[in-house]
Structure 1
Amino acid sequence: MKVVVVGCTHAGTAAVKNILASHPDAEVTVFERNDNISFLSCGIALYVGGVVKDPAGLFYSNPEELTSLGASVNMEHDVTNIDTDNKKVTAKDLKTNEEKVIDYDKLVVTTGSWPIIPPIKGIKSKNVLLCKNYNQANQIIEKAKDAKKVVVVGGGYIGIELVEAFAESGKQVTLIDGLSRILNKYLDQPFTDLLEKELVDRGVTLALGENVNEFVADETGAVTKVVTPSNEFDADMVILCVGFRPNTDLLKDKVDMLPSGAIKVNEYMQSSNPDIFSAGDSTVVHYNPTGQHQYIPLATNAVRQGMLVGKNLVEQKVKYRGTQGTSGLYLFGWTIGSTGLTKESAALNGIDVNVTVIEDNYRPEFMPTTEKILMEIVSEKGTNKILGAQFLSKYDITQSANTLSVAIQNNMTLEDLALQDFFFQPHFDRPWNYLNILAQAALEEAE
């Protein structure tokens, strides 16, 4: 069995390892455009901020490991065509320009995503940078050495983490986002209000509800200003973090996709062509809170889907369990966790929900210290089925997002969580765990 894997970051690496583990006789050929694999881009801000000293730790595999497992790994090779009718892949060696044509029985498309690059005047100015891969991370670090005024465009997780890293290193930082709140995909307003205040208190300039009209450059072509409809911001360096799009042009009109280009797959990771599998940022996920296909580019989704490609390559064995889009963030001492629907995303999906927000201590007041937790739970009206939750505290409550992710995936209700058995130990929690208390408060409001 000949297997060709196109793209080898998280999903591709997981797919190759599991294909060779499950099918040791498979002839696996890998094509990767970059000179590295398995880069944890979620660690870029930590690398930029100096928390991660050795970038080697941001890679959990390498071409040599995959080769030792039995794969034929072709680095710095760009796949230029996929002939799905004749099952052939054409790839060009970026160092020699030599072309190769490889036959396949099964094709695995793990081509990932690429940053969205808006059509803004001056966007090709020097020092207007993207933030996705290892080479870009190194470029940001190099340019940041001389930069004093940094503008970050995009208030999602990557943008916010970069804002923190630059602010901590003494840069003058401006954050611009077209929406009125930071982290709007993950958190509702009570949480973002608190975090926005923290950013301002740390000296960060917020320009929310503002789109970039133009990047102004000097006579050398280097960016000097970022212009919005109502203001101008000086900049030595700009980082674009406005989102990602699937890298799936090779299969356009050859398999079913969402309008975004994300490849549709069944619960065994097969596309509409059963011999073509897809996983990771190039692929849809089944979003459990709504029961719909959705595009959520996360490393957690990628490694799970990649593993399932290996399990299901020959026969349908293990079903995808779907995702809640669960995520965590550490920002200026705050720990933040979220899972499932927010109040805003529920409304966008036309789902009628109850939303309860409370604050409580994570452990008894008789202990020497405790910390407040701001908590929210989103539940379906009428059924009380849990659809989402958010947590924020100086105490590390991020694992609570994982707990609620399990609750959502297993269709638990507020009643289930209100009476769920959790241990009590004064060092860690109260006789009623704070998750019990949150669900009990939600039940009272739902009555």
Structure 2
Amino acid sequence: MEIVIIGGIAAGMSAAAKAARTNKEAKVTVIEKEQYVSFGACGLPYYLGNQFEDEQEMFARTPEQMRASGINLLLGHEVTAIDFTSKTLTIIDLETNEHLVKSYDRLMLATGATPIVPPIPGIHSDNVYTVTKPERVMTLKEELVNYQHIVVIGGGFIGIEVADQLALQGKKVTVIESDSVIMGGPFDPEFSEKIMEAVREEGVLIQTQERAQEFVAAQSNVISVKTDKGEYPADAVIVAVGFRPNTKFLDGQLEMLGNGAIVIDEFGETSIKEVYAAGDCATINHRLAGTMYIPLATVANKMGRIVGTNIAVNRDERMAYVGALGSSAIKAGAYEAASTGLTEKQAKSLGLSVKTTCIETNNHSNYYTVQEKITIKLVYDAQTYVLYGAQLFGKNETVLRLTGLATAVHAGLTTKELGFIDYAYAPPFASTWEAINVAANTAK
């Protein structure tokens, strides 16, 4: 069996490794445009912030290690077209410009996504960066000594993480966000406001409901950013306004969402039999909301492993993915925030009848040192009390509590059950009534 995987970063290499282990008789080939595999881009903001120095920490496996495990790698190669009827790929060697054709029995699409680069005048200047690939971020890191005023376009995960890390290095950072709040996807407005204040405490200027209109450049370098409301000095600009799935080369041959994300089922299979997809180029099944586009590394790796099994076995042996919850977390200055399941606004947009509770409680017993407050919001069914989602904000020991809440949402527990779950207690870690219990018992 000839298994071909297009893309070798997160989902693709997870699938390749699993497929090779699952079916020893199969020939597994990975085609990747870059000269590396298994790269964890989530580490880039923290590499930029000097939280670690060795960039190799962001690579889970080397090409040599993958080849040693029996996987055939075609690095520096790009698939430009697919004929799904004849099961053939048209490939170009990016170094030699040579074209070749390769056939497959089963195919996986793991082409990832590309950062959106809006058509703003001056955006192609030398000192405008995106934070997705190691080479570009290494250049930015080397040049930071020459940059004092840095403008970040976008208040999502990457924009806020980068802004936070640069502020810790004493840079004067301005974040421009077109929405009324930052982090408006995974959080309801009251939590977005808390995150925004936490980042502002680090000295970051955050301008919401504002759009960049021009990157004013001189000699191929941006010197200021003009918006619809003002102008900000800039020694460098970081663009982080979202991602677009790398699926344009498929020419609409598969079922896709409007943004180009390939629609897959619970097995990872696309609308074409024996063609699978996963990662940032594909949708995922959300346990509560159905088909969604959730470009998160956790989802990519899990679905990659599922596809790695299914692409290598008989159809009746395939395993289904249990479904995602969009669980995510972010560090904002001295604070932590996390979200799982549905936010209140998401639940209402789905037509669900929900109630919410939002409380502030302590992280552990008051007689133990460094007690901190944790804010917890629960979203639950107005009639059945089944938990649909949760959000948290606080300092030390906040985000890890999301593990218990994500499990509760996944299992369909009610707030009444959650209020009496027997969580571990000791004064350094919790109160006799764990913070999660306290929040759940306020649900009325």
When structure 1 is superposed on structure 2, of 373-382 and 104-113 the one drifting more is 373-382
Letter in 1 for 2:403: N
TM-score (norm 2): 0.96
Contact 2:115 2:241 in 1 (8 A): yes
Report the secondary structure of 1:132's partner residue: coil
Counterpart selection for 2:305 from 297, 304, 307: 307
Partner of 1:180: 180
Q: Deviations over 1:310-353 (max 9, x none)?
A: 21113242110111111122222212221112222223333332
Partner of 2:279: 280
Q: Are 1:109 and 2:109 matched, yes or no?
A: yes
Contact 1:4 1:104 in 2 (8 A): yes
Report the secondary structure of 2:229's partner residue: coil
Q: Distance in 1 between matches of 2:136 and 2:353?
A: 42
Report the secondary structure of 1:296's partner residue: coil
CA apart distance, 1:124? 1.6
Contact 1:289 1:388 in 2 (8 A): no
Report the secondary structure of 2:441's partner residue: helix
Partner of 2:427: 426
Q: Distance in 2 between matches of 1:387 and 1:374?
A: 17
Q: Which runs of 4+ in 1 moved over 6 A?
A: none
Q: How does 1:11-26 map to 2 (within 5 A)?
A: 11-26=11-26
Partner of 1:294: 292
Q: Distance in 1 between matches of 2:184 and 2:328?
A: 13
Report the secondary structure of 2:146's partner residue: coil
TM-score (norm 1): 0.96
Q: Distance in 1 between matches of 2:283 and 2:140?
A: 30
Q: Distance in 2 between matches of 1:430 and 1:228?
A: 48
Q: Distance in 2 between matches of 1:331 and 1:390?
A: 15
Partner of 2:5: 5
When structure 1 is superposed on structure 2, of 53-62 and 378-387 the one drifting more is 378-387
Q: Distance in 2 between matches of 1:299 and 1:202?
A: 27
Contact 1:326 1:402 in 2 (8 A): no
CA apart distance, 1:427? 1.9
Partner of 2:268: 269
Report the secondary structure of 2:170's partner residue: coil
Letter in 2 for 1:19: A
Letter in 2 for 1:373: I
Partner of 2:38: 38
Contact 1:128 1:239 in 2 (8 A): yes
CA apart distance, 1:244? 0.7
When structure 1 is superposed on structure 2, of 245-254 and 46-55 the one drifting more is 245-254
Contact 1:79 1:90 in 2 (8 A): yes
Q: Distance in 2 between matches of 1:3 and 1:335?
A: 42
Contact 2:201 2:333 in 1 (8 A): no
CA apart distance, 1:261? 1.0
Partner of 2:191: 191
Aligned Cα RMSD in Å? Answer: 1.4
Q: Distance in 2 between matches of 1:207 and 1:108?
A: 41
Q: Distance in 1 between matches of 2:370 and 2:46?
A: 29
CA apart distance, 1:192? 2.5
Q: Distance in 1 between matches of 2:337 and 2:204?
A: 19
Q: How does 1:386-401 map to 2 (within 5 A)?
A: 386-401=387-402
Partner of 2:80: 80
Letter in 1 for 2:248: D
Q: Distance in 2 between matches of 1:253 and 1:201?
A: 46
Contact 1:340 1:388 in 2 (8 A): yes
Q: Distance in 2 between matches of 1:120 and 1:348?
A: 32
Q: Distance in 2 between matches of 1:114 and 1:417?
A: 40
Q: How does 1:121-160 map to 2 (within 5 A)?
A: 121-160=121-160
- Give percent identity, aligned residues only: 34
Partner of 2:59: 59
Q: Deviations over 1:402-430 (max 9, x none)?
A: 22111111111111211212122222112
Contact 1:337 1:391 in 2 (8 A): yes
Q: Distance in 1 between matches of 2:272 and 2:190?
A: 45
CA apart distance, 1:125? 2.1
Q: Are 1:235 and 2:234 matched, yes or no?
A: yes
Report the secondary structure of 2:442's partner residue: helix
CA apart distance, 1:440? 0.5
Contact 2:158 2:240 in 1 (8 A): yes
Partner of 2:410: 409
Q: Deviations over 1:83-107 (max 9, x none)?
A: 1111001111111111121110001
Q: Are 1:259 and 2:274 matched, yes or no?
A: no
Q: Distance in 2 between matches of 1:427 and 1:203?
A: 31
When structure 1 is superposed on structure 2, of 293-302 and 369-378 the one drifting more is 369-378
Contact 1:167 1:202 in 2 (8 A): yes
- Given the superposition, is the C-alpha separation of residues 202 and 3 from structure 1 closer, same or farther in structure 2, using an over 3 Å criterion? same
Q: Distance in 1 between matches of 2:301 and 2:199?
A: 32
Q: Distance in 2 between matches of 1:223 and 1:352?
A: 49
Report the secondary structure of 2:212's partner residue: coil
Q: Distance in 2 between matches of 1:382 and 1:128?
A: 51
Q: Distance in 2 between matches of 1:335 and 1:396?
A: 9
Contact 2:419 2:439 in 1 (8 A): yes
Contact 2:121 2:214 in 1 (8 A): yes
CA apart distance, 1:259? 1.2
Contact 1:388 1:408 in 2 (8 A): yes
**How many aligned positions are there?**
441
Letter in 2 for 1:106: R
Q: Distance in 1 between matches of 2:400 and 2:227?
A: 39
Q: Distance in 2 between matches of 1:335 and 1:206?
A: 18
Q: Distance in 2 between matches of 1:129 and 1:430?
A: 46
Contact 2:32 2:78 in 1 (8 A): yes
Q: Deviations over 1:132-151 (max 9, x none)?
A: 12122212213323111100
Partner of 2:380: 379
CA apart distance, 1:387? 1.1
Q: Distance in 1 between matches of 2:413 and 2:249?
A: 40
